Copies of this chain bind each other. A is one copy, B any other.
Amino acid sequence: MTHPTAPLDGPGAVVGDLDETGLLELITRRLPHASHTLLGPGDDAAVVAAPDGRVVVTTDVLVEDHHFRRVWSSGADVGWRAAMQNLADVAAMGARPTGLVVALVLPAATPVGWVTAVADGLAQACGPHDVGVVGGDLSAGERIVVAVTAFGDLAGHPPVRRDGARPGDVVVLAGGLGRSAAGLALLEAARREDGAPDLEALDDDPCVHAYRRPDPPLTAGARAALAGATSLLDVSDGLVRDAGRLAAASGVVVDLDSAALVGDHDALAPTADALGARAWDWVLGGGEDHALLGTFPPDAAVPEDFRRIGTVHPADDGAPGVRVDGSPAPVAGWDHFGPAGGASRR
């Protein structure tokens, strides 16, 4: 399948044209080296500084046509998102992200340019946060998979878990809600008369940008730990669903204040109206903005990254859960499996 007239990393090249070493070289030269990177790619394993004596670790996988579509997201968008959703999980422990590794499963027909763009997107996401991409693995396969594992340092603080919310705590949020879901809805709806996607007009849409390039408040996590957050969670599957996890782990009721969320709603309302969708569904059920949801004692000095969106109540009747303005919240959010089979929104 080699094209004698084109260089192996030229526009027409596909993964099957290169051997593993050649592809690795093209990727590795694009990856950022960071202050915590003690030994980067090229050996059996990498070495990352863990000055705290503990390391925070998390892994998250993106599968083509389940978590992204190449028609909607560039390789760089996919690399960015794969990095950010993992770094957000590190931040949600109150830690500072320090590095990540990435495993790529690639069909032979994958354009080499798409793969190098993934590396560029990883670098764009990680470089400004001084996060090193320290290693990886490549494999052939039938469908693109991007599996990232990220690391972080707690700087002497206990990890901020999801089970520490206490009655009387304030519920706070850093970052946006529903914008990524609105962006995905716009991409799904954008079709020309012949059914083909019509995406050019969406490139400047802020919601589409939020879907393609989520930008979670990564530094807010460590600040929350320092300020005494009692719990912290990455909102990846929707506010109500993830607040429900926090509530269940802590044995409390999380009561959300819709007045604190109406700004999120109103910002999305025109887009929702145009699509015949409901902005509240996106605000309460949309994931992948990777906002940080947390709780603080009522007298804590909450870092300014966070805004107050509710209150923690005791689960007096023994049933932890989520309410909105005191009423049970609608079930909304994302499950990767479920009786319908495969990834489904419900």
A199 CB, min distance to chain B CBs, angstroms = 24
* A336, closest chain B residue (CB): B20
A62 CB, min distance to chain B CBs, angstroms = 8
Select which of B45, B49, B159, B249 is within 8 A of A93 by beta carbon. B45
Query: For residues 114 through 172 of chain A, which have their beta carbon under 8 Å from a beta carbon of chain B?
Result: 134-143, 145, 147, 149-152, 154, 159, 161-163
Query: For residues 29 through 69 of chain A, which have their beta carbon under 8 Å from a beta carbon of chain B?
Result: 38-39, 42-63, 66-67
A101 lies within 8 A of B59 (CB): yes
Select which of B19, B93, B106, B337 is within 8 A of A138 by beta carbon. B337
A55 lies within 8 A of B151 (CB): yes
B-side contacts of A220, CB under 8 Å: none
Select which of B21, B145, B149 is within 8 A of A59 by beta carbon. B149
The CA of A312 and the CA of B5, in the complex, are separated in Å by 41
Query: For residues 231 through 256 of chain A, which have their beta carbon under 8 Å from a beta carbon of chain B?
Result: 232-234, 249
Select which of B39, B66, B149, B161 is within 8 A of A101 by beta carbon. B149
A105 CB, min distance to chain B CBs, angstroms = 6
Residues of A at under 8 Å CB distance from B? Answer: 1-2, 15-21, 23, 38-39, 42-63, 66-67, 89-90, 92-93, 95, 99, 101-103, 105-106, 108, 134-143, 145, 147, 149-152, 154, 159, 161-163, 232-234, 249, 335-343
